[in-house]
Amino acid sequence: MRDRLVTLLGALLALAIIYALFFQRGGERPVAKPLSTEAGQNGYLALWNWLEREHVKVVSLRNRYTALLDDSSLAESGNVLIVTMPFRTDLRASEVPPFDQWIRRGNTVLLLAALDDSPEWLATANQAGFQEELAELTALRFTTPRAVLRARAAQGGTKAEDADEDAELEAETGEKPRVPPAAAAAARSRSPPISARTKIELEPIAEHPLLEGVKSLPGYSDDVSEIWVLRDTLRAKLVLRLATESTTGVDAFWQVPRSRGQLLISASGSLLVNRNIGEGDARELVRNLLRYHLGAGGAVIFDDMHQGLSSLYDASALLNDARLRYTIWFVLAAWLVYILGSSNRLAPPRMPRRVPRQGDFVAAAGGFMARRLDRRAAGLLLIEEWLDEVRHARGLPPRAALWAELEATPTLARRVYEELHAAHRTLTNGRAVDLVRLHNNLKEARGAIG
């Protein structure tokens, strides 16, 4: 019982070490990511299911943008791609030309960039390269009102607090980002414009088919957030303003035409997630998007690859896969049951080393002989050895007849004599006898004759 308790404690300690090394994440709680398969508050599963009920073809893109041009299952034009930024999987430079070419074919991209809001999944994304990747895909660069005010103050030789609350303030690039008075006032305060755990709301600023029937588009910021304004355009020749952020008045929704396609950019990364798709007029926005931009045979495509859901081999994704964890737990549970329940769970004990003696040699030789001789030969050898002992003791020549003399020996019991004589005849005729009984009779005969 004690060895089982020791084994149980050792197994539990091994399980605790494995859990601490591979599964424990100190202070970390699960975060819902913006994926089409995610049912949490920041996923797109509600939108996916709604589109399927509306008989719209939906596709999960789990490869890089280069696959858009080569995928024969997609129509050449009339598709809508929903992209959420910042990315979790870095954008490659080789993806940008195919991305732009795919839009120019006549496709639409709705890019939801977490600029004015800070969703909880932002901590797991690549924030360092966010602005550069956004500029590569959209040809637009963004800055904050605080940076605009500092640049203007540096150029004018005045303090930022005394800067004009003008609608357009000059930045260090020489361009004029649009900073409304409310945004300028918020920029001068020390607290961030968007508080944690608050809604942000986008309001249309002009009549536009995409915003038909849309009065407000609510997003949600899990953490404090800055607001961003359009600083300059890189390759875009035309940028249409569609909506503003309600509390600060900064532009927050843009349309950038590209040949036959369209690029729609939102400054909120949470407009269409599960917790917001039923709020405000988000569904009206999606209906208008499908009405005016989804062609016959087109599909709504969710960019899952750049949020970590890839069909390519990814070691980190493999280790984070719940199925792998379940398999490991099953194997460990089976191992624990084996350790505690199997009778052969431990190696046999090692016997202490002992120097062989003469008796061990005799036992080994006897065992060897017993394996090599059959029962008849062994019995006949026992009787012949006893008879030779009697001849030697009485001075008789070898192989002299003894049975008549043994019959007349008064100290030898009649029963013993008859059984030995009968056993000798049986063995001589090639049949076997009971060796144990034969051994006992010989022992009694030796004691009687001496």
Which pLDDT value is given to residue 125? 81
pLDDT of residue 192: 75
The architecture of the domain spanning 31-312 is 3-Layer(aba) Sandwich (3.40)
Looking at residue 194, the DSSP 8-state letter turns out to be B
Mean pLDDT of 226-252: 86
Examine residue 97 and say whether the peptide bond preceding it is cis (omega within 30 degrees of 0). Answer: no
Cα–Cα dist 66/157, whole Å: 49
Token code pair at residue 251: 């532009």
Residue 158 has pLDDT above 60, yes or no: no
Q: What is the pLDDT of residues 386-439, one digit of tens each?
A: 888 888 888 888 888 888 888 888 888 999 989 999 999 998 998 889 988 999
pLDDT in tens, 324-361: 888 888 888 888 777 776 555 556 667 777 788 888 88
Neighbouring-strand partners of residue 243: 204, 253
Cα-atom radius of gyration of the chain, to the nearest Å?
A: 47
Asked which of 69-73, 189-193, 441-445 is least confident by mean pLDDT, the reply is 189-193
Task: Report d(CA 96, CA 259) in Å as an integer.
Answer: 16
Each residue's pLDDT tens digit, 177-216: 667 766 666 666 666 788 888 888 999 987 899 999 999 9
The pairing of strands 198-204 and 217-221 is antiparallel
Q: In angstroms, rounded to a whole number, what is the distance separating the alpha carbons of residues 285 and 216?
A: 10
Distance between CA 142 and CA 315 in Å, rounded? 34
- In this model, does residue 174 exceed pLDDT 60? no
pTM value is 0.63
Greater pLDDT, 43 or 178: 43
- What pLDDT is recorded for position 305? 93
Q: What is the pLDDT of residue 55?
A: 94
Coil vs helix vs strand at 39: coil
Q: Which of 8-12, 182-186, 262-266, 389-393 has the lowest mean pLDDT?
A: 182-186
Residue of higher predicted confidence among 174 and 395: 395
Query: Taking the domains of the chain in order of start, what are their residue ranges?
Result: 31-312, 358-449
Residue with tokens 């591979």: 22
**Mean pLDDT taken over the chain:** 84
Contacts 24+ apart (CB under 8 A), 49-58: 50/277, 50/283, 50/286, 51/286, 51/300, 54/290, 56/290, 56/294, 56/299, 56/300, 57/297, 57/298, 57/299, 57/300, 58/299, 58/300, 58/301, 58/302
Q: What's phi and psi for 305, nearest 5 deg?
A: -60, -45
Report the relative pairing of strands 300-303 and 58-61 from DSSP bridges.
parallel
3-state SS, 60-83, equals: EECCCCHHHHHCCCCCCCCCEEEE
pLDDT for the residue 112: 96
Q: Is the pLDDT of residue 136 over 90?
A: yes
* H-run or E-run covering 301: strand 300-303
